[in-house]
Structure 1
Amino acid sequence: MLQKTTFIILLFTGTLSLAESVASTSVYPCANGTILTYFKRPTIITSACPVPYGQFTFEGGIQYNEFINRGEQWTFPQSKTRIGLPWLSELAILFPSERINHQVNISGLSTTQLALKHDIAYNKNWNVAGRVVYIPASGSKDYGTARDGYSLNGILAYKTKVFNISAMASISSFSTPSAAGGLRYNAFSPDVCITWYTRNWLHVYFEVFGQTRTAPDQGAGYNLDTGFIFLVTRDFAIDMEIGKRLSGQLGNFKTYYGGGVSFMF
């Protein structure tokens, strides 16, 4: 029994070491990339490529929302960090943002989120990753979540020298803020993003994302997001975005505008 257990442990350790070794070769589509290889702030979808082990990223920005029926809102600083872990994995932490709605005189903090991502399979042009997200009860009574939330994401990406196509499917359990009763609801969320590398330093993206339920008493909602990402250096990027409501009340806005910066260390 001890010999069998030892063999299994050695096999598992060897497999992880092999994955790390293979990932350093030219076959791995995420190897030796720029900051835009590992994420593209401000898209909703996340890259299938984890941040390399031993490195981390930091991003932030500001967003202006025009709501369907409640005026306008500012959200900042949209801070997030991603930490490269061993074995093609990544830990991401989304920090609370301040949200201010002058129209109805409401302000407060959004939720905190923790996410763990792992690259599952790949070849030189595509890769598949899985991600689990934990949303602890956090934030203010108007913009936070009254109960813990969870999300399971599957990510598929295909890229060439000219474009990248990514798709993400998510199964999630959310909670409304305490001011809205702290009610729980479940949703399926599809997301497709196409990125065109117009220049080595300029990416243009188009993204459509949605949820089958946007609140306990609401149906599906879908939005369009598009923008430009400027690669200033390999480790520094600037972005600008505009989003439009397509249908439903996902986010309860009709238009939003945003911009931000990203760094990799």
Structure 2
Amino acid sequence: MLTGTLSVPVYSATDDSCSGPSALLAIVNRPNGADSVCVVPSQRAVLEMGWQYLQLVGTGYSYNLPEMQFRVSVPGQNELSVFLPNYNSQTIPLHSGVAATTIGIKHQFTYSGSWVSAVEALITAPSGSAALGSPGWAGTFNGILAYSLTPAVELTFMLGVGSQVLPNLSGGQRYASVNPDFVVSWEPQEQYQFYGEVYGQSSTGPGTNPGFNMDIGILYLLTQNMEVDFSVGQRLIGQLDGFDHYLGVGMAVLF
């Protein structure tokens, strides 16, 4: 999928938001859906993890954990990432299982004034359980663009195009979608950041209508190398991700 993303604020018109004392707030992908425009700094790695509680459309609930992603720098302003299998349990319909494993590569282009951009390719291997996994190969291509509106406010746009496969228990059919994502980030101080996001898909399955959700959250920097975050999300239209609303908590460590 191709996605546009706006990243965390910068502190002067020429500063790179991907570096500096609060860089981790710009580097992390979580908790919003749009991936960061920043790659992991040279010779460093990031581990991200979290937990979500979701109230499902209609009735029932589910939860996800550990939402773990490992990202490591690669020379030439690149990074490799692995989205490890995520466990989900839900009440209606009653089932549980693990999602598929996804591997990604991202390239960040040279910083230019108030702009940063990146491209990202994600490949999902046939893996996971019958209820939540992917029975076939899937892929997404994202384009990410971030603009520093003021020293404390950044806009991110991510536009993605993807080919996905439904889990076996949902029919195992393949479908394509275009996935826009828009994020506004406000960093009033170096230690914390607020964000708001609207994201969607042109299709949430074969022959289905578009779906859009929104979420807001806060990221807090415990140290330069560790952050914690809290987010809440709400369904806007359609059946994207199958929830009415959710709350989530998580953390990331740079090492």
Give me the TM-score of the superposition, normalised by structure 2.
Answer: 0.90
Aligned length: 240
Name the CA distance, whole Å, in 2 between partners of 1:103 and 1:183: 22
1:31 corresponds, among 19, 22, 25, to 19
Contact 1:29 1:123 in 2 (8 A): no
Pairwise mapping of residues 121-132 of structure 1 onto structure 2 (< 5 A)?
A: 121-132=110-121
Which of 28, 36, 41 aligns to 2:30? It is 41
1:189 positional shift: 0.3
Higher normalized helix content (fraction of residues): 1
Alignment correspondent of 2:252: 262
Letter in 1 for 2:121: V
Residue in structure 2 matched with residue 89 of structure 1 by the alignment: 78
Alpha-carbon distance between aligned partners in 2 of 1:217 and 1:66, rounded to the nearest angstrom: 25
- SS in structure 1 of the partner of residue 241 of structure 2: helix
Aligned residues: CA RMSD: 1.4
CA positional deviation for 1:163: 1.1
1:157 equivalent to 2:146? Answer yes
Q: Is the 8 A contact 1:45 1:193 kept in 2?
A: yes
Q: CA deviation at 1:70?
A: 4.5
Q: Which residue of 1 aligns with 2:132?
A: 143
Q: How far, CA to CA, are the matches of 1:87 and 1:102 in structure 2?
A: 46
Relative contact order, CA 8 A, sep 6+: which one is greater? Answer: 2
Alpha-carbon shift at residue 83 of structure 1 (Å): 0.4
Structure 2 counterparts to residues 171-186 of structure 1, below 5 A: 171-186=161-176
8 Å Cα contact 2:28-2:252 kept in structure 1: no
SS at 1:239 equivalent:
strand
Q: Which runs of 5+ in 2 are unaligned?
A: 1-13
Q: Determine the C-alpha separation between the residues in 1 that align with 2:59 and 2:88.
A: 14
Q: Are 1:106 and 2:101 an aligned pair?
A: no
In structure 1, list runs of 5 or more residues that go unmatched: 1-25
Q: Which has the larger radius of gyration?
A: 1
- Write the deviation string for residues 37-96 of structure 1: whole angstroms up to 9, x where unpaired: 212411111111100121000011100011113510010010111101100001111101
Q: One-letter code of the match for 1:77?
A: P
Structure 1 runs of 4+ off > 2 angstroms? 26-34, 102-105
Match of 2:105 in 1: 116
Question: What residue number does 2:49 align with?
Answer: 60
Q: Provide the rounded CA distance (Å) in 1 between the counterparts of 2:168 and 2:92.
A: 21
Query: Does structure 2 conserve the Cα–Cα contact (< 8 Å) formed by 1:137 and 1:145?
Result: yes
Relative to the length of structure 1, the TM-score reads 0.87
Identity %: 30
Does 2:184 correspond to 1:194?
Answer: yes
1:233 aligns to 2:223 (yes or no) = yes
- Secondary structure of 1:122 counterpart: coil
- Give the distance between the partners of 2:218 and 2:15, measured in 1 at CA: 28
1:246 aligns with 2:242: no
